[in-house]
Amino acid sequence: MLARLAPPLFVLIWATGFIVARVVAPHAEPLTFLLVRYLLALLVLAGIVLAARAPWPRSGREWGEAMVAGVLLHGFYLGGVFWSVKHGLPAGISALIAGLQPLVTAALAVPLLGERVSARRWAGILAGLAGAVLVIAPRIGDGGVPPLALSVCFFGMLSITLGTIWQKRTGNTLDLRVNAFVQYVGAALVTLPLVLLLEEGHIALTPPLLGAMAWAVLGLSVGAIGLLLYLIRQGAVVGVATLLYLVPPVAALMAFVLFGETLSTVQLVGMALAALGVAVASRN
């Protein structure tokens, strides 16, 4: 049952990250918000692990491997995306850059994991990419693109790509709850010095921010990441990464419902194409 529900549930929850970013932006500095989110997630996960009496990593190597995954999957990826958007990169362009992940994952999975990427899966990957571009393109507009912010966002995309591959290679023995906990230790450790160096620690405890923080911790940091780790453990990383093509269409639908953002015919076609690409690439 979980194997069937996990992919659509993961896409649905992961897409809410764009909504959280939009809600939080006026109320907190991005890296400060992420650091508080990681620390709260650690408290929640510690309680879950202790209640379940799940086994902790048995060696320093297991601790280190999970922390590296956390630095890549959370620290550098989320930090890069949030920072670039805060510093002038349009959200549409940042989503489009993040949408390159399945393509890069497919290219790297062959030499790094030895996964065979079939012609059918390549076709699905390219169709999904085309669909994601169609969804995002109408939002890009004619605004300038800051080169530094663009580079930082691209770095974040590479980070989550490498983190997915690293997790597949090293994270198959730890309990998923313990794995997530150790990952957030790594994410917090790499984010703390960045906050001290780049930000003033501003965070306003307004009702919108508190609501977004609660969902970011429970829904995203615990729920979505747990599902992501489960999917990586159960399947090929290329197939898992391809699911991310569905995130921009789902996020666009959420923005339409919550914020009244309109959806053009081109965007609707892109949603259908992205869904088709994922269906083709993920088919067993």
Question: Tokens at residue 249, please?
Answer: 């269409």
Phi, psi of 28 (to 5 degrees): -160, 155
Query: Which pLDDT score is estimated for 130?
Result: 80
Q: How confident is the model at residue 28 (pLDDT cuts 50, 70, 90)?
A: very high
Tokens for 175, please give them.
């309990």
pLDDT in tens, 162-205: 998 888 788 667 888 999 999 999 999 999 999 999 999 999 99
Between vectors from CA 145 to CA 164 and to CA 271, what angle results, nearest 5°? 55
Which range is most confident: 68-77, 94-103, 152-161, 263-272? 68-77
Q: What is the pLDDT of residues 103-134, one digit of tens each?
A: 777 777 766 666 676 777 777 777 777 877 77
Percent of the chain topping pLDDT 70: 80
Find the angle CA(22)-CA(202)-CA(199) to the nearest 5 degrees. Answer: 95
Return the pLDDT at 12. Answer: 85
Among residues of the chain, what percentage have pLDDT more than 90?
33
Lowest mean pLDDT among 80-84, 135-139, 206-210, 252-256: 135-139
Give residue 91's pLDDT. Answer: 64
The residue range of the domain holding 104 is: 2-282
Q: What is the pLDDT of residue 207?
A: 93
* pLDDT at res. 114: 65
Higher pLDDT, 90 or 154: 154
Residue 156: pLDDT over 80: yes
Does residue 268 register a pLDDT over 80?
no
Q: Which residues contact 54 (CB under 8 A, 6 or more apart)?
A: 175, 177, 178
Q: How confident is the model at residue 4, as a pLDDT? A: 74
pTM of the model: 0.80
Among 96-100, 172-176, 214-218, 224-228, the range of highest mean pLDDT: 214-218
Q: Which residue has the higher pLDDT, 71 or 273?
A: 71
Mean pLDDT over 132-143 rounds to 64
Nearest 5°: the CA angle 158, 163, 164 is: 105
Question: Taking CA 113 as the corner, what is the angle to CA 230 and CA 185, rounded to the nearest 5 degrees?
Answer: 50
Q: Exposed, middle or buried by CB within 10 Å (0-12, 13-18, 19+), for 205?
A: exposed
Give the residue-averaged pLDDT of 254-265: 71
Average pLDDT over residues 127-151: 70
Mean pLDDT of the region 230-249: 69
Provide the 10 A C-beta neighbour count for residue 40.
18
Predicted pLDDT of residue 1:
67
Q: What is the pLDDT at residue 212?
A: 92
Total tally of structural domains belonging to the chain? 1
Residue 253, number of CB atoms within 10 A of its CB: 17
At 203, is the secondary structure helix, strand, or coil? strand
